[in-house]
């Protein structure tokens, strides 16, 4: 069991029988009444984020999560196939289980998947991935002072807003946490 003094960002615990993680927290000592901890929690099963107050006397149920390092190998219909880097066993997950991570998966990409009781909960991608632009409208020459952007499609099928100078065939770096363009990549 974890006391409320142990609450910190990223802490994972069972709340109402479901794994949750702390997104934000704040210890509050009001002028009147007992102290409490105001938190913003994320349900690791469905991704819902909500606020909850814990009294300082409450205890949180600690959980054990398995973290597996995997390599994305290929897509087979509705399944995305990964190889466990330790056991070489194939894991097959659906787009629903992977969430937004499907926008950044390319063959050979190494990542981590968090499991609770055998069920995948969360995918930890590298902070940035390099992808090829496969579809882009031509940019207007000389229109770069405004910081204007245009949508392009990358090799995974995701759409990203990039500066006007980015063209089809170029490789770009994308921040996987925000889905935003970072820079062009030279091969």
Fold (topology level) of 128-185: OB fold (Dihydrolipoamide Acetyltransferase, E2P) (2.40.50)
> Using CA atoms, how far apart are residues 148 and 150, in angstroms rounded to an integer?
7
Provide the pLDDT for residue 142.
59
Which residues lie across from 153 on neighbouring strands?
Answer: 135, 159
Provide the pLDDT for residue 69.
93
Q: Which CATH number fits domain 2-62: 3.30.365.10, 4.10.93.10, 3.40.50.12240, 2.30.30.30?
A: 2.30.30.30
The predicted-structure confidence for 125-171, as pLDDT tens digits, reads as follows 899 999 999 998 886 665 556 678 889 999 999 999 998 888 899 99
- CA nearest to 155, candidates 137, 138, 139, 136: 136
**Tokens representing 135?**
């579809």
Average confidence (pLDDT) over 3-31:
89
Average confidence (pLDDT) over 45-67:
88
The predicted-structure confidence for 74-84, as pLDDT tens digits, reads as follows 998 899 999 99
What are the C-alpha distances in Å from 179 to residues 10, 79, 100, 155? 21, 22, 9, 14
Provide the pLDDT for residue 32.
87
Q: What is the CATH number of domain 66-124?
A: 2.40.50.140
Provide the pLDDT for residue 141.
62
User: How would DSSP label each residue in 99-159?
Assistant: GGGGGG--TT-EEEEEEETTEEEEEE--SEEEEEEEEEPPPPTT--TT--EEEEEETTS-E
Is the Cα torsion angle 7, 19, 67, 79 positive or negative in sign? negative
115 contact partners, CB below 8 Å, separation of at least 6:
65, 66, 67, 68, 121
Provide the pLDDT for residue 145.
60
pLDDT score of 186 more than 90: no
Find tokens 């590298």 and name the residue.
126
The predicted-structure confidence for 77-130, as pLDDT tens digits, reads as follows 899 999 999 999 999 998 888 888 899 999 999 999 988 888 888 888 899 999
Provide the pLDDT for residue 31.
87
């Amino acid at each position: 069991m974890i006391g409320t003094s142990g609450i910190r960002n990223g802490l994972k615990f069972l709340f109402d029988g479901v794994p949750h993680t702390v997104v934000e927290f704040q210890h509050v000592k009001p002028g009147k009444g007992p102290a409490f901890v105001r938190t913003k929690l994320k349900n690791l099963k469905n991704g819902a984020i909500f606020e909850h107050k814990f009294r300082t006397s409450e205890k949180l149920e600690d959980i054990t999560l398995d973290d597996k390092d995997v390599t994305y190998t290929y897509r087979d219909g509705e399944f995305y196939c990964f190889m466990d880097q330790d056991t070489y066993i194939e894991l097959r997950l659906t787009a629903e289980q992977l969430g937004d991570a499907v926008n950044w998966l390319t063959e050979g990409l190494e990542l981590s998947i968090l499991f609770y009781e055998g069920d995948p909960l969360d995918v930890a991608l590298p902070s940035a991935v390099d992808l090829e632009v496969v579809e882009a409208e031509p940019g207007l020459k000389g229109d770069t002072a405004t910081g204007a952007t245009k949508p392009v499609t990358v090799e995974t099928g995701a759409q990203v807003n990039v500066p006007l100078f980015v063209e089809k065939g170029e490789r770009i770096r994308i921040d996987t946490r925000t889905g935003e363009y970072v820079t062009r990549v030279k091969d």
